[in-house]
Amino acid sequence: MKDVKGISYDEYFASGHRACAGCGEALVLRHIMKAAGSNTIVAQATGCMEVVSTPYPQTAWKVPWVHGAFENAAAIASGIDRGLIAQGKREGVNIIAMGGDGASFDIGFGALSGAMERGHKFTYIATDNEAYMNTGVQRSGATFPYASTTTSPDGKKIHGKQEPKKPLAFIVAAHGLNYVASMSPANLFDMKKKVETALSRNHTTFLHAYCVCPVGWHCKSADTMELSRLAIQTRVFPLYEIDNGVLQFNQKVEKPKPVKEYLELQGRFRHVNEEEVEKIQKYVNDRYDFLLSIEGKKAFDVLY
């Protein structure tokens, strides 16, 4: 079908799935698949999207799709890559491995690290909603500081998660990948370009996708896109790419909005006091300043 400004009408992640109203992750998957197209194989870890998209005997996937455990989406994608090579059918096939933040930042990181070290040709996409949402909103390595979850609850002495968000994209880039990027549904054209670029490379590539979860974040379903925009405008989730070891911004924010505007839309931060808001603001500022300090420089060695 005809495209709208380069974004296809074709749907490979079909409507009718069981995702919650306002699910940012379902929106991200829909547009990932529009960019990837029909000649794609997906290996997906256990998580919300696996549950909502494949209630037996139904499926929302219009491409070959494989479900794996939390820890092995990257291992499955590695096997698909080698299997297609053995059959002489690898040319022109896109392979995508997907996992939520729990599967990507924590449980499945070993398999991902091994796949990157071996240099298999596939794109790993971490769909990050900042907690183990499918199993009860437990904190993960990707959970934002001071967020209240069921395993990092707001209490009298400790106000939510105390640890910083794991910088997975930079850990991945340090493996020598030639393409790593962040993306958000607030900029679909940027997302399309990054998916296409990642899939075009000859070795493992990595994409980090921002995904609002109304249930786990205790926000309104109607605020998904507003939060996605605010995450960029407050510098909470910068859009950048690390291409052949060099970081470049894709949507630079010269005059950021206060991070308080982002926090106020989410019930998971309703407990934070003014001092903690200031600490979160400093945390965001420091991380953005780090990106500015390496912008345009050869910050990572490239092996693949």
Q: Roughly how many angstroms between the first and final C-alpha of the chain, as a whole number?
A: 35
- Would you list the domain boundaries of the chain? 3-294
For the stretch 281-287, contacts whose Cβ atoms lie closer than 8 Å and that sit 24 or more positions apart, written own/partner, are 283/145, 283/164, 284/234, 284/235, 284/236, 284/259, 285/235, 287/235
Q: Is the CB of residue 301 less than 8 Å from the CB of residue 248?
A: no
pLDDT at 4 (0 to 100): 77
Nearest-angstrom CA–CA distance, 194 and 304: 17
Among left, alpha and beta (phi > 0; psi -120 to 50; other), residue 224 is: alpha
The fold of the 3-294 domain, in CATH, is Rossmann fold (3.40.50)
pLDDT of residue 158: 93
Q: How far apart are CA 63 and CA 41, in angstroms?
A: 6
How far is residue 229's CA from residue 242's CA, in Å, rounded to a whole number? 21
The pLDDT value given to residue 2: 61
Measuring CA to CA, which residue among 45, 233, 213 is closest to residue 144?
A: 213
Report the C-alpha gap between 147 and 134 in whole angstroms. 17
Q: What is the pLDDT along the chain (304 residues), one digit of tens a residue?
A: 568 778 999 999 999 999 999 999 999 999 999 999 999 999 999 999 999 999 999 999 999 999 999 999 999 999 999 999 999 999 999 999 999 999 999 999 999 999 999 999 999 999 999 999 999 999 999 999 999 999 999 999 999 999 999 999 999 999 999 999 999 999 999 999 999 999 999 999 999 999 999 999 999 999 999 999 999 999 999 999 999 999 999 999 999 999 999 999 999 999 999 999 999 999 999 999 999 999 999 999 999 9
What's residue 1's pLDDT? 57
22: alpha, beta or left? (left if phi > 0; alpha if psi -120 to 50): left
**Helix, strand, coil percentages in the chain from 3-state DSSP, rounded to 5:** 40, 20, 45
